[in-house]
Amino acid sequence: MSSRPTSLRPRITDAQRRARLGHRHLLAPGRRAARAEDVADALVALHATDAATVYLSACARLAEPSPAEVERALYEDVTLVKLLSMRRTLFAVSSELAPYVNSSTARAVADRERAQFLKFLREGAGSAWDERRLARTEREVLAALAARGEATTAELAADVPALRETIVVSPGKPYEGRQSVGSRLLRLLASDGHVRRSRPRGSWTSSMYAWAPVPQLPEIPVREAKAELARRWLAAFGPATEADLKWWTGWTLGDTRKALADVGAVDVELTEGTGFVLPGDLPGDLSGGPEGGEEGPAGPWAALLPGLDPTAMGWRGRDWYLSPDQVPALFDRAGNIGPTVWWDGRIVGGWAQRADGGIVWRPLVDTGREAAAAIEEEAARLAAWLGPIRVTPRFRTPLERELVR
């Protein structure tokens, strides 16, 4: 990771950063992809906390948007893999990248999940559960799942009665409640990489799904894995700051700096201060880099992106594509962004789907006629491939709620 005086750093403007989005995030019409895996790799990872987000994010960038294409990658070819990873968030990544994500972030998350689950068991069940019983129950669940091929938590509980037990949560508190062992234990097995979510029971928007066994991912040395993830992220999201990468990955500052150094990140001057790009990825440098240097103009482009889309959630510092005065309308109280409308690299409003299937949007800035026409075209494209499906974001935001009233 190079470090130079500010006066010697190449400067990359906010306009140049926005120009990259149409190309690298496959949002300009001429850059759209043919396969869901290509979309995931272009963005490093697709948010998957909300079941619908993977489909909406992918189809916004597919030349021929189709839920069937995403289902093929997730459930037939299994070339998109869901991992509880960066920032303890569920992401879908390509099977080629999955071992690096697993070693760089998911393993540490899984270790914390196991420690928390053991604490949950001890506090809620006392001596009824310990590490030995947990390990035995996990083996029984995996054996039952192997016999069935795939099964829901309820189906597995018929084979492993321990899953039906409930544990007191927050005992003695006003919000005391009970949770089943089964739901937490299957989540733990998923974070450990032993099981995966299979095809939902119902439509692709459903959060009811079965579990399926998976082979263990190859082991990658942690430092090598972190460097590869940082390289992929800079290729998609660079230029970006050290704080952006630290936030996106959930790493420590030390690990972030080490990864930037390992990929030879080049420092540049951004509006908010020092940023970084990969070697050969400076504007005007055609000698290398993930896209062969600076891309040509993508032309003005419009996009309707879902809540938690990777482009909207790719950076900690967002002022270069999102006006701060739009934040209260577009984010919920936990910091989750809702559905957004984009015009040529900026967020300009939000959208929602009404009960009758209609796509409605509201500008938060004066977009002008050209932008409004292009956005309407994208809204029609979205409505066409959604067809009879109705999508309600898992994380509701003020503007999205207003639009569906």
- List C-alpha distances in Å: 163 to 119, 126, 222: 17, 16, 33
- Model pTM? 0.91
Distance CA(206)–CA(200), nearest Å, equals 6
pLDDT at 3: 62
* pLDDT in the model for residue 217: 92
Contact criterion met (CB below 8 Å) for 193 and 217: yes
C-alpha 25/C-alpha 39 separation (Å) is 8
> What is the full per-residue pLDDT of the chain (405 aa) written as tens digits?
656 666 678 999 999 999 999 999 999 999 999 999 999 999 999 999 998 999 999 999 999 999 999 999 999 999 999 999 999 999 999 999 999 999 999 999 999 999 988 888 887 766 678 889 999 999 999 999 999 999 999 999 999 999 999 887 777 777 777 888 998 999 999 999 999 999 988 889 888 889 999 988 999 999 999 999 999 999 999 999 999 999 999 999 999 999 999 999 999 999 999 999 999 998 765 333 443 344 555 679 999 999 999 999 999 999 999 999 999 999 999 999 999 999 999 999 999 999 999 999 999 999 999 999 999 999 999 999 999 999 999 999 999 999 998
Residue 246 has φ and ψ, to the nearest 5°, of -60, -45
pLDDT, position 393: 93
The encoded tokens of residue 203 equal 């439509």
Would you say 36 and 76 are in contact if contact means Cβ atoms under 8 Å apart?
no
Which one-letter amino acid corresponds to residue 160? V
The answer to whether residues 373 and 393 touch, using CB atoms and an 8 Å cutoff, is no
Give the span between the Cα atoms of 166 and 164, in whole angstroms.
6
Q: Is 77 helix (H, G, I), strand (E, B) or coil?
A: coil
Whose tokens are 């003005």? That residue is 300
Residue 8: what are its φ and ψ, rounded to 5°?
-100, -5
What tokens were used for 105? 């972030």
SS3 166: strand
Token pair of 74, please?
């997730």
- Output the pLDDT for position 334: 94
Question: What residues contact residue 34 under an 8 Å CB cut-off, 6+ apart?
Answer: 62, 63, 64
Of the candidates 157, 167, 154, the one whose C-alpha atom is nearest the C-alpha of residue 122 is 167
Half-sphere exposure of 393 (CA within 13 A, CB side): 29
Closest CA relative to residue 135, chosen from 152, 118, 157? 118
Q: Name 173's Cβ contacts closer than 8 Å, sequence gap at least 6.
A: none
d(CA 140, CA 160): 7
Helix (H) or strand (E) holding 360: strand 359-363
Domain residue spans in the chain?
1-44+222-405, 98-213
Q: DSSP character for 309?
A: -
Of 211, 262, 280, 314, give the one whose Cα is nearest residue 104.
262
Task: Please tell me the predicted confidence (pLDDT) of residue 286.
Answer: 36
Whether the Cβ atoms of residue 237 and residue 249 lie closer than 8 Å to each other? no
Do residues 318 and 271 lie in contact, with contact meaning Cβ atoms separated by under 8 Å? no
Class of domain 98-213: mainly alpha
Helices (H) and strands (E) in the chain, counts: 15, 13
Strands 80-84, 90-94: pairing kind: antiparallel
> Burial code of 231-253, b = ≥16 C-beta within 10 A, e = fewer?
bbbbbbbbbbbbbbbbbbbbbee
